Structure 1
C-alpha cells in the first residue's frame, strides 16, 4: 500500500463526496479516482479493499467535523447558562450543515453498516466515543444539565440536521434556527 499521506487524505475526501453524491453503491475505486482527479487505479494502491475505504471515510468525516481548539476555547469562555448552550448548539448545527457532503456520507455509511459488521463496529465505536467526549466536555465545563441533556440534544438535533440536509424545504433557515432554540429551551434546564 502506498504511504503518501496527502494523497491518501485526498482520496478519502473524494470518497466522502462520492458517498454523498452517489451513495454507497456508487463508491468504487474508479469513482474515487475520478472525483479526486487522479489516474485510474490510484485508490486501489492506497486501500486494500472497499471496506477499508468505507471505514477510513467514516473516520475522516469525524475529523473534518471536529470544531477545533478555537471553538472549544470560545465555548470554555462562555458563561455557564442555557443561552450559552443554545449558542453552542447553533454553532454545531451550522458547522455540520456546512459540511453537507460529510453528513450525507455518514448517513450512507450508517446504512451500509447494517450490512457490514466491521463497519458497524468502527462507526459504533467512533460515534460512542464522540458522544462521550461531548458529555464529558459538557459536564466538565459546568454547563447546565447532565449527561442525559447532552444525549437528548444529540438525538433531537441530529434528526433536525437530517431534515435540513435532505429536505430543506420542510423547515427553512429561520424555522431551523427557531427549532434549535426550542430544543435547547425544552431540554436544557435553566440556570
Structure 2
C-alpha cells in the first residue's frame, strides 16, 4: 500500500464527495480516482478494499467537522446562558451544513454500517466519543442544562440538518434558524 499521506487524504476526501453525490453504491475505486483527478488505479494502491475506504471516509468526516480551537476558545469566553447555548447550536448547524457533502456521506455510511460490522464499530465509537465530548464540554463549562439536554439537542438538530440538506424546501433557510432557537428554548432550562 502506498504511503503518501497527502494523496491518501485527497483520496479519502474524494470518497466523501462520491458518497454524497452518488451514494454508497457509486463508491468505486474508479469513481474516487475520477473525483480526485488522479490516474485510474491510484485508489486501489492506497486501500486494500472498498471496506477499508469506507472506514477511512467515516473517520475523515469527523476530522473535517471538528470545530477547531478557535470555536472552542470562543465558546469558553461566552457567558453561561441559554443564549450562549443557542449561539453554539447555530454555529454547529452552520458548520455542518457548510460541509453538507460530509453530512450526506455520513448518512450513506450509516446505512452501509447496517451491513458492515467493522464500519458499524468505527462509526459507533466515533459518534459515541463525539457525543460524550459534547456532553463533557457542556457540563465542564457550566452551560445550562444537563447531559440529557445535550442528547436531545443532538437528536433534534441532527434531524433538522438532515431535512435542510436533503429536502431544503420543507423548512427553508429562514426557518432553520428559528427552529434551532426553538429547540434550545424547549430543551435547555433557563438560568
TM category (shorter chain) comes to: over 0.9
Q: Provide the residue aligned with 2:185 in structure 1.
A: 185
- Output the CA distance in 2 between the equivalents of 1:82 and 1:40: 52
How far off its partner does 1:40 sit?
0.3
Confirm or deny that 1:172 pairs with 2:172.
yes
- Output the CA distance in 2 between the equivalents of 1:47 and 1:138: 38
What runs of 5+ residues in structure 2 fail to find an aligned partner?
Answer: none
SS at match of 1:144: coil
Deviations 1:112-132 (A, max 9, x none): 000111110110000000000
Confirm or deny that 1:75 pairs with 2:79.
no
Q: How does 1:57-96 map to 2 (within 5 A)?
A: 57-96=57-96
Confirm or deny that 1:145 pairs with 2:154.
no
- Output the CA distance in 2 between the equivalents of 1:188 and 1:39: 51
Stretches (4+) displaced over 2 A: none
Q: Provide the residue aligned with 1:22 in structure 2.
A: 22
Q: Aligned-pair RMSD on alpha carbons?
A: 0.4
- Output the CA distance in 2 between the equivalents of 1:144 and 1:23: 39
How far off its partner does 1:30 sit?
0.4
Q: Provide the residue aligned with 1:107 in structure 2.
A: 107
How far off its partner does 1:76 sit?
0.2
Q: Provide the residue aligned with 2:122 in structure 1.
A: 122
What runs of 5+ residues in structure 1 fail to find an aligned partner?
Answer: none
Structure 2 length-normalised TM: 1.00
Structure 1 length-normalised TM: 1.00
Deviations 1:28-69 (A, max 9, x none): 000000000000000001001100000000000000000000
How far off its partner does 1:22 sit?
0.4
Q: Provide the residue aligned with 2:31 in structure 1.
A: 31
SS at match of 2:185: helix
How far off its partner does 1:159 sit?
0.2
